[in-house]
Chains A and B, each alone.
Chain A
Amino acid sequence: MNGQLARQSRYRRHLLAPARGLRLWLLAIPTILVASWFITVVSMITGFLGVLLFPSATLLMRRQVDRYRDLINRWTDEHIERPYLPEPPREHGVQGIIKRFVALLTDPATWRDYLWVAADPVVVLFTAALPGLLILYGVWGFLLAAFAGGMIGHYGGSDWYAWVHVDPGYDRDAERLVSTLVIATACVVAGFLAGPRMMAVYGRWGRLVLGPTEKSRLALRVRHLSETRSEAVDASAAELRRIERDLHDGAQARLVAMGMTLGAIEHLLDKDPAKARLLLAQTRESSATALHELRDLVRGIHPPVLADRGVGDAVKALALDHPLNVEVNVEVPGRPEPPVESAAYFAVSEILTNAAKHSGARRVWIDMRHEAGMLRVTVTDDGRGGASLDAGTGLRGIERRIGTFDGVLALNSPVGGPTIVTLELPCALSSPKTSPS
């Protein structure tokens, strides 16, 4: 069954590759225009107009080259990421324009892009487009043999099909007709056979020129790390402020009040024992309240079940306390590092809160598993869907927080539902802890 499928998809690839190659070839037409415009602007670079136009020409070129990246990513096994160095923050005025100009000018990717737009219209002819062109040539051969050769001869024309001379008398020469058919068939067969191979060669050429260099890869990584780091620092500072405020207004204030009441009780003990007893009861009450508040605070910092049992049982406990009907399936043999556990837990907690608040869902399914070095959590609800990352649903915040751990969040929420949120966090598991069945 699977083998059959694989064979089918192989045939499909052989059929599709030549057509895709031709599309890449057609893309060369706008590419040549873009390349010409870019080199024109570069030739004016000593003047102010060149400096002014350079960024837009570069971005135009990037857009064109992105089209190639997209097609290569879709049609070959290569995966090409955008290699551009981060742009400096926008500034107004002449200085801003010049800074931007210099940044784009000194980005090696700009010149590698130019290499691509200048060279690719030729390179594509000998790689991706070659099979398609061979097939077209083969088809032309069949047409010649069928009637076009005769027509050319009839009107006194002269042409060559490979090494076969097409002139008056061609359509009556069986030897030349057979040669034409053999060559045409060979071209078509070779075209279909070579299609995927040539596409792969083209993909490698694309990765070589369009992919990130070591330097830009590092620059992108550094940018990502410094962004997530500053977010993590901000978040933890805000969290500490919140805890400080909660303690200050809650337990701390209550303890002060209790101390004062105890002082009063000491005073009243002999004079008015009945009043003292009343105050004692009050004090006990407020110690219970203080404990209650501390408990809630700790639950928000690090839930006890998370500390005891890890993220799987913590999410199960969360599901039990949730107003919606939540089903949890956990296949995590062991425990991730505590910070990752905590991030995953609070992410799920927030997604559940969202589902309850916005989706109108009745049921939620949570699937949590560890596969290939990734903790993958899928939260599905049967709500009305239509959720988006930017609609203030807090999903952006979750994305940022798990970004600190190189985690990613994917949202799939068509209007009408269901909504599927998937989290992936790279992490290793420590040895499994036994838990009761």
Chain B
Amino acid sequence: MRVVLAEDLALLREGLVSLLETHDFEIAAAVDNGPSLLKALLDHRPDVAVVDVRLPPSFTDEGLQAALEARRRVPGLPVLVLSQYVEQLYARELLADGSGGIGYLLKDRVFDAAQFVDAVRRVAGGGTAMDPEVISRLLASSTRDSPLGRLTPREGEVLELMAQGRSNAAIAEKLVVTERAVTKHTANIFAKLDLPVTGDDNRRVLAVLAYLNR
């Protein structure tokens, strides 16, 4: 699987390269600034891009802008965005085209190599990997009378895991409950958010994220 990597801190870039290479990814290009990222994405058309939000030369959201621009030109190009911060605003912009293949994770998630690699694979396969913090901040900012505010804490947890792109089985394992219990929770969530129920994990996540994106 071919990866384009953009990270301006040499130490972290090397770390990510070796991490991905040990997990059988092929690094097509590892760049350290916005303009060369856009060029690399368009030239190499990788299976997935791992991109730091903040890049030189401007040290603003250059990586995010390059990723969004690349996705405008190559619809559905899978991009996993890494950042020191998660912002709902940026999550919305990434999800806006509704075509999937999007990840948005805090940089510390790299600490857990297995989970991180799992997330990269999921994004490459057109799935999603939203950082739990995106959802938890969203839930924290929703009022009691909004549909999100009506979710029970457990349903919130399930929603969080769903947004990370996990299947029912994975959620059940993580929460130490039966898969049937998870199915019940998801049905409740979908009912409360007034969304059509679907068995397909990917479409399910997209429906939820599209809802959150409203």
Q: Is the pair B142, A323 in contact by a Cβ cutoff of 8 Å?
A: yes
Q: Is the pair B60, A324 in contact by a Cβ cutoff of 8 Å?
A: no
A317 to B138, CA, bound (A): 11
| Interface presence of B93 (CB below 8 A) | yes
Residues of A within 8 A of B68 (CB): 436
Q: Is the pair B108, A320 in contact by a Cβ cutoff of 8 Å?
A: no
Partner of A295 from B53, B85, B93, B140 at Cβ < 8 Å: B85
Q: Is the pair A320, B111 in contact by a Cβ cutoff of 8 Å?
A: no
| Interface presence of A384 (CB below 8 A) | no
Residues of B within 8 A of A322 (CB): 141
| Interface presence of A249 (CB below 8 A) | no
| Interface presence of A307 (CB below 8 A) | yes
* Secondary structure type dominating chain A contacts: helix
Residues of A within 8 A of B108 (CB): 287-288, 291-292
Q: Is the pair A321, B85 in contact by a Cβ cutoff of 8 Å?
A: no
A39 to B178, CA, bound (A): 96
Q: A317-B87, A317-B88 are in contact. Are A307 and B141 (CB under 8 A)?
A: no
Q: Is the pair A321, B111 in contact by a Cβ cutoff of 8 Å?
A: no
Residues of B within 8 A of A317 (CB): 87-89
Q: Render A263-305 as a binary contact track against B, CB cut-off 8 A, 1 for contact.
A: 0000000000000000000001001100110010011000011
Give residues 320-345 of A contacting B (CB, 8 Å): 320-325
- Of B83, B88, B146, most buried by chain A (CB within 10 Å of CB) is B88
- Of B85, B92, B142, most buried by chain A (CB within 10 Å of CB) is B85
| Interface presence of B36 (CB below 8 A) | no
Residues of A within 8 A of B61 (CB): 308-309
| Cross-chain pair count, CB within 8 angstroms | 59
A81 to B140, CA, bound (A): 49
| Interface presence of A313 (CB below 8 A) | yes
Q: A307-B60, A308-B60, A321-B141 are in contact. Are A287 and B111 (CB under 8 A)?
A: yes
| Interface presence of A13 (CB below 8 A) | no
Give residues 15-65 of B contacting A (CB, 8 Å): 53-54, 59-61, 64-65
Q: Is the pair B143, A320 in contact by a Cβ cutoff of 8 Å?
A: no
A288 to B106, CA, bound (A): 10
Q: Render A339-365 as a binary contact track against B, CB cut-off 8 A, 1 for contact.
A: 000000000000000000000001000
Complex: chain A residue closest to B59, CB-CB: A307
Minimum C-beta distance from B156 to chain A (A): 15
Q: A323-B141, A436-B93 are in contact. Are A295 and B84 (CB under 8 A)?
A: yes
- Of B90, B92, B112, B146, most buried by chain A (CB within 10 Å of CB) is B90
| Interface presence of A176 (CB below 8 A) | no
Residues of A within 8 A of B65 (CB): 436
Minimum C-beta distance from A332 to chain B (A): 16
Residues of A within 8 A of B142 (CB): 323
Q: Is the pair A284, B111 in contact by a Cβ cutoff of 8 Å?
A: yes
A86 to B65, CA, bound (A): 53
Q: Is the pair B89, A305 in contact by a Cβ cutoff of 8 Å?
A: yes
Complex: chain B residue closest to A316, CB-CB: B89
Q: Is the pair A299, B137 in contact by a Cβ cutoff of 8 Å?
A: no
Q: Render B91-107 as a binary contact track against A, CB cut-off 8 A, 1 for contact.
A: 01100000000000001
Residues of B within 8 A of A291 (CB): 84, 107-108
Q: Render B133-158 as a binary contact track against A, CB cut-off 8 A, 1 for contact.
A: 00001001111001000000000000
A299 to B111, CA, bound (A): 22
Minimum C-beta distance from A287 to chain B (A): 7
Residues of A within 8 A of B60 (CB): 307-309, 433
A291 to B133, CA, bound (A): 14
Q: Is the pair B84, A304 in contact by a Cβ cutoff of 8 Å?
A: yes
Residues of B within 8 A of A288 (CB): 108, 111
A304 to B181, CA, bound (A): 39
Q: Is the pair A320, B93 in contact by a Cβ cutoff of 8 Å?
A: no
Q: Is the pair B88, A321 in contact by a Cβ cutoff of 8 Å?
A: yes
Minimum C-beta distance from A334 to chain B (A): 15
A97 to B34, CA, bound (A): 69
Partner of A325 from B84, B90, B143 at Cβ < 8 Å: B143
Q: A295-B84, A436-B65 are in contact. Are A308 and B54 (CB under 8 A)?
A: yes
A305 to B112, CA, bound (A): 27
Q: Is the pair B54, A320 in contact by a Cβ cutoff of 8 Å?
A: no
Complex: chain B residue closest to A324, CB-CB: B143
Q: Is the pair B85, A320 in contact by a Cβ cutoff of 8 Å?
A: no
Minimum C-beta distance from A335 to chain B (A): 11
A40 to B59, CA, bound (A): 71
Minimum C-beta distance from B209 to chain A (A): 14
Residues of B within 8 A of A313 (CB): 89
A304 to B65, CA, bound (A): 15
Residues of B within 8 A of A320 (CB): 87-89, 92, 141
A281 to B108, CA, bound (A): 14
Residues of A within 8 A of B85 (CB): 295, 298-299, 304
Complex: chain B residue closest to A296, CB-CB: B85
Complex: chain A residue closest to B92, CB-CB: A320
Residues of A within 8 A of B84 (CB): 291, 295, 298, 304
Give the interface of B toward A (CB within 8 A): 53-54, 59-61, 64-65, 68, 83-85, 87-90, 92-93, 107-108, 111-112, 137, 140-143, 146
A298-B85, A304-B83 are known; give 20 further A-B pairs, CB within 8 A.
Answer: A284-B112, A288-B111, A291-B107, A298-B84, A304-B54, A304-B85, A305-B89, A308-B54, A316-B89, A317-B89, A320-B87, A320-B89, A320-B92, A321-B137, A321-B140, A322-B141, A323-B141, A323-B142, A323-B143, A433-B60
| Interface pairs (7), CB distance under 8 Å | A298-B85, A308-B61, A309-B61, A317-B88, A320-B88, A322-B141, A323-B140
